[in-house]
Structure 1
Amino acid sequence: MNVRIAYIEEPPFYWTGDDKRPTGADIEVAEAVLRAIGVTSIEYHLTSFGELLPGVQEGRWDMNVPIYVTEERAREVAFSDPIWTIGDGFVVRSGNPKALTSYEAVAARNDARLGLIREQIQYAAAKAVGVTDSQIVILKSQPEGVAALMAEEIDAFPGTAIGSRAIAGANPALESIDVDAGTSSDAPVGAFSFSKDNRGLLDAVNKQLRQYLGSADHRARVAKYGFTQAEIDGVIGTAQ
């Protein structure tokens, strides 16, 4: 049985390693779960964030690596049980010169520039609290966001808190800030996604996830990539 998975360049969840092979916390979880349900061959497709949902809908691949679950996305694809719950983080230049600790803080400063990938939920979060178009620089990928920060074209690049920690850990000139959730206290969840016509694979993955999440193997795999116990425990026992 062969399964095709699409991924993007977004450490520590998934990226192309030095050996040119996909690696990351979610890649390891995907492989552990798929091997357990009898998958003998896994084929990876590197793509852009904006192509993840159309690609799985059109059958170019069978599943996507985990992304945030939203109502809008759930109308287009079928999501698995969640595999992580993580708040947002900002990557900023060391010292956080403009004191950006929340989307509201960005909105309050006309001179603050935020780098955003339009399809990601951080774009909607920023717009919802009044960050203006003139404050937003549209980017296509995480590496592009890092480059824009280093070039001082933007003041902050939002993403997941764990992803922001990973970027800052690899770049001494940058630091990560856990974003103040403001009026929202619920951290969003991330899950694999599938075509709504591929119910068999979705059901098999969910059944195995319910056994695997929280196991010693699962905890050891994702802890290597910087997941905290709170981020691991946040979805344990939530599978239905």
Structure 2
Amino acid sequence: MKIKVAYIEEPPFYWTGDDQRPTGADIEVAEVVLRAIGVTDIEYHLTSFGEFLPGVQEGRWDMNVPIFVTAERAQQVAFSVPIWTIGDGFVVRSGNPKQLTSYEAVAARSDARIGLIPEQIQFAAAKAAGVRDSQIVVLKEQPEGIAAFMAGTIDAFPGTALGCRSIAGANPALEAVDVEMGPSSDAPVGGFSFAKGNHALLDAVNKQLRQYLGTADHRARVAKYGFTPSEIDGVIGRGQ
């Protein structure tokens, strides 16, 4: 059985390694789960974030690597059971000179510029917090955020807290901060996504995920990429 899987360049979840093969925490989980359900050939497709949902809907590939689950996205595709729960973080300049620890903090400073990818949930979060269009530098993908820092055009770049830690760890001039959340806010969850009609693959993946998530092998694999226990424990048992 052959399965086509789409991914983008977003360490430590998924990216193209030095050997030009896909790698990352979610790639490893996908490999384990798909092999366990009898897939013998996994064909990866590098794409853009904006093409994830249209691509799987149109049948250009069978499955997307995990992205945040939202009600709007769930109207377009079918999500697997959640595989992680992660809050937002900011990449900022070392020392965080403008003290940007929340979207509201960005909105409160007219001199703060934030890099945002329109299709990602952080764009909506920033707008909801009052960040103005004049403060937003629109980006197409994560690597553009790093380039924008180097060019001095942005002061913050949001993403998952884990992803921000990964970016900052590879760039000494940058720092990662966790975004402050309201007391009633829950960290969003991420899951694989499929075309609405692809019930057989979705059901098979879900069955295997329920058996695999939280096992010693799963925890060891994702810990290598910086996942903390809370980012896994928060989804164990969800979607059962």
Instruction: Please state which band the TM-score falls in when normalised by the shorter chain.
Output: over 0.9
Residue of structure 2 in register with 1:144 after alignment: 144
Cα deviation 1:184-212 (Å, max 9, x = unaligned): 52000000000001010000000000000
1:33-48 to 2 correspondence within 5 Å?
33-48=33-48
Cα deviation 1:76-111 (Å, max 9, x = unaligned): 000000000000000001011110000000000011
Specify the SS of the correspondent of 2:33.
Answer: helix
Say which is worse superposed, 182-191 or 113-122, in terms of deviation: 182-191
2:126 pairs with 1:126 = yes
Using the TM superposition, give the Cα deviation of residue 149 of structure 1 relative to its aligned residue in structure 2, in angstroms: 1.2
Residue of structure 2 in register with 1:222 after alignment: 222
Q: Distance in 2 between matches of 1:121 and 1:158?
A: 10
Cα–Cα, structure 1 residues 184 and 160, in superposed 2: closer, same or farther, change >3 Å?
farther
Q: Distance in 1 between matches of 2:182 and 2:105?
A: 10
Letter in 2 for 1:106: V
Letter in 1 for 2:49: F
Q: Distance in 2 between matches of 1:181 and 1:137?
A: 23
Aligned-residue CA RMSD (Å):
0.7
1:1-240 to 2 correspondence within 5 Å?
1-182=1-182, 184-240=184-240
Specify the SS of the correspondent of 2:42.
Answer: strand
Cα deviation 1:47-69 (Å, max 9, x = unaligned): 00000000000000000000000
Using the TM superposition, give the Cα deviation of residue 182 of structure 1 relative to its aligned residue in structure 2, in angstroms: 2.9
Cα–Cα, structure 1 residues 7 and 224, in superposed 2: closer, same or farther, change >3 Å?
same
Letter in 2 for 1:22: P
Cα deviation 1:9-67 (Å, max 9, x = unaligned): 00000000000000000000000000000000000000000000000000000000000
Specify the SS of the correspondent of 1:91.
Answer: strand
Identity of aligned residues (%): 82
Q: Distance in 1 between matches of 2:75 and 2:184?
A: 22
Using structure 2 for the length normalisation, give the TM-score.
0.99
Letter in 2 for 1:232: I
Q: Distance in 2 between matches of 1:82 and 1:150?
A: 35
Q: Distance in 2 between matches of 1:108 and 1:182?
A: 17
Q: Distance in 2 between matches of 1:25 and 1:184?
A: 29
Q: Distance in 2 between matches of 1:202 and 1:25?
A: 20
| 5+ residue gaps, structure 2 | none
Letter in 2 for 1:125: A
Cα deviation 1:107-130 (Å, max 9, x = unaligned): 000110000000000000000010
Letter in 2 for 1:151: A
1:57–1:195 CA contact under 8 A, matched in 2: yes
Specify the SS of the correspondent of 2:44.
Answer: strand
Specify the SS of the correspondent of 2:13.
Answer: coil
Q: Distance in 1 between matches of 2:13 and 2:186?
A: 21
Q: Distance in 1 between matches of 2:183 and 2:120?
A: 19
Q: Distance in 2 between matches of 1:234 and 1:171?
A: 29
The runs of 4+ residues in structure 1 deviating greater than 3 Å are: none
Specify the SS of the correspondent of 1:11.
Answer: coil
Q: Distance in 2 between matches of 1:170 and 1:182?
A: 29
Using structure 1 for the length normalisation, give the TM-score.
0.99
| 5+ residue gaps, structure 1 | none
Using the TM superposition, give the Cα deviation of residue 183 of structure 1 relative to its aligned residue in structure 2, in angstroms: 5.7
Q: Distance in 2 between matches of 1:193 and 1:111?
A: 38
Specify the SS of the correspondent of 2:26.
Answer: helix
Specify the SS of the correspondent of 2:19.
Answer: coil
